Chain A
Amino acid sequence: MEPILELQNVTKSFGGLRVTSDVSLSVAQGSISAIIGPNGAGKTTIFNQITGYLKPDSGKIFFCGQDITELNTRDIVTLGMARAFQVTSFFPEETVLDNVRVACLSQKNKTRNLLKGVDDFKDATDQAHKILSSIGLEKEADRPAFELAHGDQKLLDIGIALALQPKLLLLDEPTSGMSPDERLLTRNLVKKLWKEFNLTLIFIEHDMDTVFGIAQTVRVLQMGRLLAEGSPEEIRNNPEVITAYLGEEVL
């Protein structure tokens, strides 16, 4: 089967600093995979380029067989890609429901409507409630989003992305800043969502239990270079990866 996402020799520098260095990879449709690597390795920058937020200096990016290298974020999202952020990103003054509902309305192309009330869009509202149930925030639906605890805000960020009904979902450190308990819940949630919504899912993560617990494929970035790629088992036993990043404790 044709890969859903393909990067060919993608390279990007900030000033003199090479943040993405000749990265090529291909992601299978329906897979769940992780990107790991030390701080500053260039993980988020890869997401930024895939989503059109940054343009690569050279190289090509294909999504569902289409060259998206030159497309802007809006068009790429419309093709079926969504993203949640490392630094939680949502609409603080809107209710939790409206945070998700605005994404549902956008996905249905209803946001040009001036005269009907948001509440009149039953299907978008129902769908938003369904997503809130899936991520366990149904009880918080009517609260302004800024009142949520950090962990719940991370989930809301994921909920907004899910509401776009993406084919490919990118999560940037879904468990960061969470307590160990929350992390476990989120790990299971991410896996559940991947199945429930038939997603292809790529996540960046520092929590190794999450990485080795749910990823089918793990890719390791180091100083912008793709250091290794393989099953959790292969990565865990890769001597290069161990010295570069994992260190002793994983063994």
Chain B
Amino acid sequence: MKKSLFNKDIIFWGLFVVVFGSVPFLKQSDYHLMLANSILIWGMFAVAFNMLFGVTGMLSFGQALYYGLGAYSVGLVVKNYGPSLFLPAIGLGVVLAVITSILVGLLVIRLSGVYFTVLTLAFGQLAWQITFRWYHFTGGDDGIQGIMPSGVLENHTVYYYFTFVLVILAIWFLRRVANSPMGLVLRCIRQNPERVRFLGRRVRRNQLRIYVISSFFAALAGGLMTGVTNSIHPDMFYWTTSGEVILMAVLGGIGQFFGPFIGATVIIIIQDVVGARTEYWSLIIGLIMMVMVLGMPRGLVGEIRGLKARFAPGRMSRG
């Protein structure tokens, strides 16, 4: 049991470091670097989201709120005070996300199941509306273009490795959380919250903790993404952003820690390949999702592990 867990981690980290570490050497254009960078950032976002959904059983449909908060903190600070504040602005976005997620969390975590989901969606849409309407501050529908980090980070390769390291640290941290006593309690909350109370634990308190942690990384993702696309746009707050991260997690497999990262990789590549050929890429994504949900309910990684378990002696474990 312990051994297979160990192997799974080694395989992921090995592939991860080799593949993403070598992109700057193998790329044919800066576009490839940008693509790889998006995968890293969205992969982190999806893994953090899944700590909420797959691990604790809280389906937030409003993580765009924090993603947008992270992005707009950077965009507005850089626009108003200059690119030298790019990094502090990422920090600001994350701090704002923590404060906001505590306040919003205290309100929404009292509800469970679909009510929680709907209320998170409502808060996300509220933030989108405000951003959309408050033209002279946020740039409204136009967003803000030309957001650049300053100094060495201006170099695309340096920026890429900068996010690479941050994403490694983030995923390593989340992996530790998943394996910690608190991670165990979170899984127990998903399976049987009533019994967790009878263990003498506060269910809502733990739900709030992971909600804040997950939102922290959503904001970090939003902030880092501005350095890749060099722009911000109200769509970052829109429900489709929340939907996309859910899609990534479900596609990769919410029962697997690394599944959502694989899901993010697949979706971003599909968007890129299919999007370049046809404008119907969202239709294709929709079809893939239908096939997934009907035919592979455990997600890509979950189904592959299921196949392996069927052909190998010994029992399958959930990670």
Contact = CB atoms under 8 A, between A and B. Distances in A.
Interface in B166-199: 173, 176-177, 179-185, 187-188, 191-192, 194-195, 197-199
| Of A89, A93, A161, most B-chain CB atoms within 10 Å | A93
Interface in A91-139: 91-95, 98, 101-103, 105-107, 110-119, 121
A119 B181 CA distance: 9
A121 B181 contact: yes
A6 B192 CA distance: 30
A163 to B, nearest CB: 9
Size range of the chain A interface in the assembly = 35 or more
B198 A83 contact: yes
A103 B283 CA distance: 47
A113 to B, nearest CB: 5
Interface stretch (A7-15, A74-82, A181-189, A202-210): A74-82
Contacts of B192: 89-92
Contacts of A107: 200
Given A118-B179, A118-B181, A142-B1, A91 B200 contact: no
Contacts of A105: 181, 184-185
Interface residues of B, number: 28
B187 A90 contact: no
Contacts of A111: 181-182, 184-185, 201, 206
A106 B195 contact: no
A160 B192 CA distance: 13
Contact of A113 (B1, B182, B201): B182
A160 B184 contact: no
A93 B176 contact: no
B54 to A, nearest CB: 12
A93 B201 contact: no
Given A94-B188, A94-B191, A82 B180 contact: no
